[in-house]
Structure 1
Amino acid sequence: MRQKIVRLALVGGVVFLALLLLLATCGGGGGDGAGRDGKGGESRKPVKESAGPVTRLTVPPAYTADRGWEVVDAGPGYAVSHPTGVLAYLVRAPGQRYRLRTLDIPTGRAGWSGEAWRPPDPARFPKLLTLAKADRQFFVTWSYGRVGDDLAPARTLVSLDVYDAADGERLRAEVPWTGVPVVTASGPDILITDGRTTGALVDPLTGDVTGIPAAKPSYPEGCSACGQLTEVRGQTEKGLLFSGAREFWVRGGWFSRKVAPKGADPRSGVPTSVGPGRILVRWQLGKKAERAATHELWAVHDAANGKPVASVECHRPAIEPGSHPQAVFSPSGRYAVAGNLAFDLEAKEGFCFETEGGAARVTLASVTDDGTAYGAADARDAADALEGGGTPVEMSFVSGDVEPLPPNVRLPEMETSGTGVFTWTDRKDRLHLLGYPRTS
């Protein structure tokens, strides 16, 4: 099933062209409806450029809060295009609408701003993703809900707005959908699924939609567990990634049993996190392994061919968690962290930070290209560590040491272009995005 449902704001006619010329003369900002200065009708606190932010958090020694930028009252979540150095965030606009804004991460200078639009369910903030395809970077906003009026029958759909990160050129796609969607962008296309095997792929270049039928997804020969709890987990360069109760595979490509890391039971792999070009997998140790009863093997695999890049053994949890930590990668992709796990993918090394009894020593939440990871001891998860829970720490991939930070330190959620990005929510429940430059 293929259908093209591109919605571009292009209208023919002399009157419309004249209106565009008039808007341009009045500073319309290249047709994005908001202007390059970011003005779009709603009030907004301007981003400070190369000046001290209003809010000065206590930050790790590698950063300074004396300079930087700040955005107040941004929507939940933001997205970053590392190659372009652009950060995107959502704000509310009049009329139950939303607008995507951007800024230059090193300077905080306002970038392009998209037209305001009304999602299918205005009560819910749209979600924001980053995607790369064909050497282009995209920001993707998506929302879900029911639409219709007296002139058209009601229907439910997933509404997607795809923006070129470089200049804000927008493409809209609408995908009919029932149930609650799961939308991911591990690339190269946008993946919508029902949490099982039914889904759709949306091409960010054209808006073409390719359906994924609910029929059996060609299980690998001899894989009895592949038909249990089967679901689409993501997309790779070689095709869709599927998993079962145990084992995983790319349809028409590789099979996990053929690429299991040394020491693992090849019939036990379970993907826990899928990112651009990488998959974090939990494996059981081989039955004859010395620590098979107490430990398991964690490995980061190359999504293109399934081969393991780095692995490490870690204690099995006393109680199986409801969800596993999601892998977070440094901008260059060299380093990865997930809970108490850390990986140097260039050196092909893995680290497990735990006590002799098997308890996690730290929860790592972010990692930079210089090999510094940030997290907290005694935090519930990465989100709790970033919100100030537990005792903040930093870990060096160079030394392997974990060092405590002052208890009131705020941790960077990520770093790119020499700038750490921090968040903070004030007493009015407004989210602050802050950028502090690295000093060392």
Structure 2
Amino acid sequence: MGDKRPAVQDDPPERLKKLSVPPAYDSAKGWQHTFKSLPENPSSIPVTVGVKSKSLAYLLTGPTGHVIQSRALGSGRLRWSSRAWNPPVPVEEAAEEDSDSGQNTPHLVVAAQGGREYVVAWGHGMEGKDELHNGREIVKLSIFRSDASGYGVTPERTVNVPFEVGRAEKLRVHGEGRGILVTAGSHAASVNVRSGKVKQYEDANELLKQCADSACSESEIPILTSLGPVVSTSGVEGFGIPGHWFSEEHAPKGRTNGKLLAATEESLFASWEAKGLGDSSKSVFAVHDPETGAIEARVTCSEEAYSGGKDMWGESKSRTPPASFSPNGRYLVAGSVAFDLKEKRGLCLMGDGDRKRIILFSVGDSGTAYGGTAPEDADGEQSTPVAVSLASGSPKALPQGTQIPYVMGPGVGGFITNENEQLSLAIVRER
């Protein structure tokens, strides 16, 4: 794997600039990385955290291609650096249309399988197209061991997954304990990290037996389990594992039409509507066990808690943050709801008529979550950064200008800074 040069030791991390961070972090201890080249619209910053390996991997863009580098989370020491890597040639018909979406830019994701952790570089485009051949549309996955070392590291394997993406579809690649999952609309493909074996799911609309008598639409496969894929669908409004369970079997009392909002191998996050009109402004938000469908924790909150309203910047709900888990998987934050999955408790932070709505973005292993107030009624009103202890449920306003962590890792928080059109990720240690 890679060449035989000694472990990387002559590329020190950048020194941490002065930051205003929450009290749980030590602004004098940490390091940072500045992205010297990025896509015009970096909708997804090319960086990923390896929880097991306690590492941060990112992409560098150069004249001959991209280089993946991995650094120790705590110290910033460079562990390994790859040879030049390039995604496939973009699909011509969609290249211009998707230039602002980040669809054709390369990405990174961490995947785990068989007790091992991997860094996966992926890109979407065409393979084998020339004057005499039409070629085929693929997602290229280059899989690196997260515990590699040295310079010139090469992938343990590269897998080209035949995969067509419609113009209106969003391509996603997930890395979970069951390998890699590629999805776009109702089409999905799973990839075994260790063998490279690919399994295609051509149409998720046809997988659930509940769809046999009622046409399903907009079905997706957000996650894989040991029992098979979880399918989320419209038409019969629900989600489940074909041949094992369906969400309506586990609906909270008086609730129906479960809507899957986010998924990991360990947890499914969903909202449930009231059956009648008397409580139509309230939804039940629940965390389900993916293997059984059973509810592990729930909370009643406004239906706007995750899917509606304005965010902490006063902009439309399209910027509402995705669900985010703590590195140890115990805590979940999603918009204005949060869960402690060990204690099986939920928390609603929509406000009480006087207190403003709070939107959460990240949560650490200590159970402290971070976000800000949402100026829903006053355009241009400045958001106040907030820390919330999920043990007490009490929010605390932080000084204006305090930065909140963008990503979480064991014992550290990642903060995005943008000065003089230079985007940096600062990794700051907890106290």
Bin for the TM-score computed over the shorter chain? 0.7 to 0.9
| Alignment pair present for 1:141 and 2:121 | yes
Tell me the SS of whatever aligns to 1:65. strand
| 2:19 aligned residue | 57
Structure 2 residue corresponding to 1:89, chosen from 58, 82, 98:
58
| Alignment pair present for 1:255 and 2:246 | yes
Q: Structure 1 residues 252 and 189 mapped into 2: Cα distance closer, same or farther (>3 Å)?
A: farther
Q: Is the 8 A contact 1:131 1:140 kept in 2?
A: yes
| 1:17 aligned residue | none
| 2:142 aligned residue | 161
**Aligned partners of 1:417, 1:139: CA distance in 2, in Å?**
17
Q: Structure 1 residues 72 and 389 mapped into 2: Cα distance closer, same or farther (>3 Å)?
A: farther
Tell me the SS of whatever aligns to 2:28. coil
Tell me the SS of whatever aligns to 2:206. coil
**Aligned partners of 2:28, 2:88: CA distance in 1, in Å?**
42
**Aligned partners of 1:412, 1:150: CA distance in 2, in Å?**
49
Q: Structure 1 residues 172 and 359 mapped into 2: Cα distance closer, same or farther (>3 Å)?
A: farther
Q: CA deviation at 1:287?
A: 2.9
Structure 1 residue corresponding to 2:85, chosen from 106, 110, 117:
117
Larger radius of gyration: 1
Q: Structure 1 residues 284 and 224 mapped into 2: Cα distance closer, same or farther (>3 Å)?
A: farther
Q: Is the 8 A contact 2:204 2:219 kept in 1?
A: no
Q: Is the 8 A contact 1:354 1:362 kept in 2?
A: yes
**Aligned partners of 2:411, 2:182: CA distance in 1, in Å?**
34
| 2:407 aligned residue | 414
Tell me the SS of whatever aligns to 1:141. strand
Q: CA deviation at 1:406?
A: 0.6
Q: CA deviation at 1:389?
A: 6.9
Q: Is the 8 A contact 2:141 2:160 kept in 1?
A: yes
Tell me the SS of whatever aligns to 1:434. strand
**Aligned partners of 1:138, 1:264: CA distance in 2, in Å?**
43
**Aligned partners of 1:309, 1:125: CA distance in 2, in Å?**
37
| Alignment pair present for 1:217 and 2:206 | yes
Q: Is the 8 A contact 1:86 1:103 kept in 2?
A: yes
Q: After the TM superposition, which residues 363-402 of structure 1 pair with which residues of structure 2 at under 5 Å, given as runs?
A: 363-378=359-374, 390-402=383-395
**Aligned partners of 1:151, 1:113: CA distance in 2, in Å?**
37
Q: Is the 8 A contact 2:365 2:410 kept in 1?
A: no
Tell me the SS of whatever aligns to 1:277. coil
Tell me the SS of whatever aligns to 2:248. helix
| Alignment pair present for 1:80 and 2:49 | yes
| 1:99 aligned residue | 67
Q: Is the 8 A contact 2:109 2:121 kept in 1?
A: yes
| 1:431 aligned residue | 423
Q: Structure 1 residues 156 and 379 mapped into 2: Cα distance closer, same or farther (>3 Å)?
A: farther
| Alignment pair present for 1:182 and 2:182 | no
State the AA in 1 paired with 2:301: C
Task: Give ranges in structure 2 of 5+ residues lacking alignment.
Answer: 39-44, 91-98, 310-316
Q: Is the 8 A contact 2:351 2:358 kept in 1?
A: no
Q: Percent identical across equivalent pairs? A: 30
Task: Give ranges in structure 1 of 5+ residues lacking alignment.
Answer: 1-8, 10-19, 30-34, 40-45, 381-387
**Aligned partners of 1:295, 1:155: CA distance in 2, in Å?**
47
Structure 2 residue corresponding to 1:326, chosen from 318, 322, 330:
322
| TM superposition score normalised by structure 1 | 0.80
| 1:384 aligned residue | none
Q: Structure 1 residues 415 and 215 mapped into 2: Cα distance closer, same or farther (>3 Å)?
A: closer
Return 242-251 or 164-173, whichever deviates more.
164-173
**Aligned partners of 1:435, 1:317: CA distance in 2, in Å?**
32
Deviations 1:121-149 (A, max 9, x none): 47843111122222111222211112434
| 1:347 aligned residue | 343
Q: CA deviation at 1:94?
A: 2.4
Q: Structure 1 residues 179 and 60 mapped into 2: Cα distance closer, same or farther (>3 Å)?
A: same
**Aligned partners of 1:222, 1:207: CA distance in 2, in Å?**
31
Q: Structure 1 residues 186 and 207 mapped into 2: Cα distance closer, same or farther (>3 Å)?
A: same
Return 106-115 or 167-176, whichever deviates more.
167-176
**Aligned partners of 1:63, 1:118: CA distance in 2, in Å?**
37
Deviations 1:314-353 (A, max 9, x none): 1223995765642111111111100110101111110111
| 1:13 aligned residue | none
Q: Structure 1 residues 189 and 217 mapped into 2: Cα distance closer, same or farther (>3 Å)?
A: farther
State the AA in 2 paired with 1:61: P
Count of residues in Structure 1 that have an aligned counterpart in Structure 2? 387
Tell me the SS of whatever aligns to 2:165. coil
State the AA in 2 paired with 1:437: R
Q: Structure 1 residues 228 and 90 mapped into 2: Cα distance closer, same or farther (>3 Å)?
A: same
Deviations 1:277-334 (A, max 9, x none): 211101013438xx52221100011112111111101122399576564211111111
Q: CA deviation at 1:224?
A: 5.4
**Aligned partners of 1:393, 1:47: CA distance in 2, in Å?**
29
Q: Structure 1 residues 216 and 390 mapped into 2: Cα distance closer, same or farther (>3 Å)?
A: closer
Q: Is the 8 A contact 1:121 1:143 kept in 2?
A: no
Structure number having the greater strand percentage: 2
| Alignment pair present for 1:172 and 2:141 | no
Q: CA deviation at 1:422?
A: 1.3
Q: Is the 8 A contact 2:121 2:141 kept in 1?
A: yes
